[in-house]
Structures are given as C-alpha cells and as structure tokens.
Amino acid sequence: MSIDVHVSGPLFDGRAAHAAQDACDDARDDIAEFAEERALTDMGAHFRHPTGYYESRVTTTRVSGDTSLVHDQGVVYGPWLEGVGSRNAPVTRFAGYGHWRRTKEAARARGPEIAERAVRRHLPEMGG
C-alpha cells in the first residue's frame, strides 16, 4: 500500500513566510512613522520658542534589518530640550519638555495595534 500526498499553497511554497516577513517590515515602518509623527506633533504643541531647526532634524533611520530608530540626528541641545541634559534643573529652572519620553510611551501603547493592522494587510498572501 502506498499513499501519495501532494502539498501546495502559501505555507508550503514559501509565500506565507515571505508575506510574514513583509508584514514584520511594514509593522516596523508603520510604528516608526507613527513615532516620528507623534514626536513632531508633541514638539509643535509644547515647544515655547520653536525655530524649526530641531524639528527638521527629526528623522527615522533603519539601524539594522529589524530595527528602526527615530531620533534628532544628535543635535547637541537635544538632551537639554528633553530634560535629561546636565544643564537642566536644578542647574537651571528649565526641566525639559519630555517629548521623547511621551513619544516612547505612545509608541509602546499603540505599537501592538499598528502591528496588527500590518499583519492583517498581509493575511491574504499567507492564505488566511
């Protein structure tokens, strides 16, 4: 007695794995985009005397295959604006704006929802 089994479909021909990788890439990019927009929005709402220079330096960089970094390109007074610099309170009265902290909290809270939307966009490619 012999049994012939024929397997086909996205799970067996690699399409599902490729779609899953695309979903992960999209999730990373979407979360980074959300974080960049959130940081800029927060800066616009809280900065008292914006010049536009600092905001123009905020960008997203892919630092490795699966990691993106939203940052201010190392602007020297960035830590002071955030409130973590050596010249913040108690040295001066300025405690900082905390825009990166709030952005990080927002990205952490909304990240799963954003990632789920990215996965849902790729489900048909995975055979789901």
Residue 64, pLDDT score: 84
What residue spans define the domains of the chain? 10-126
Q: What long-range pairs does 51-57 form, CB within 8 A, spacing at least 24?
A: 54/78, 54/81
pLDDT digits (tens, 9 = 90+) for 79-100: 999 999 988 878 888 999 999 9
Residue 4, pLDDT score: 80
Residue 17, pLDDT score: 87
Pairing of strands 67-71, 59-64: antiparallel
Residue 87, pLDDT score: 87
Specify whether the backbone of 73 is left (phi greater than 0), alpha (psi in -120 to 50) or beta: left
Residue 13, pLDDT score: 83
Q: Which residues of the chain have pLDDT under 70?
A: 128
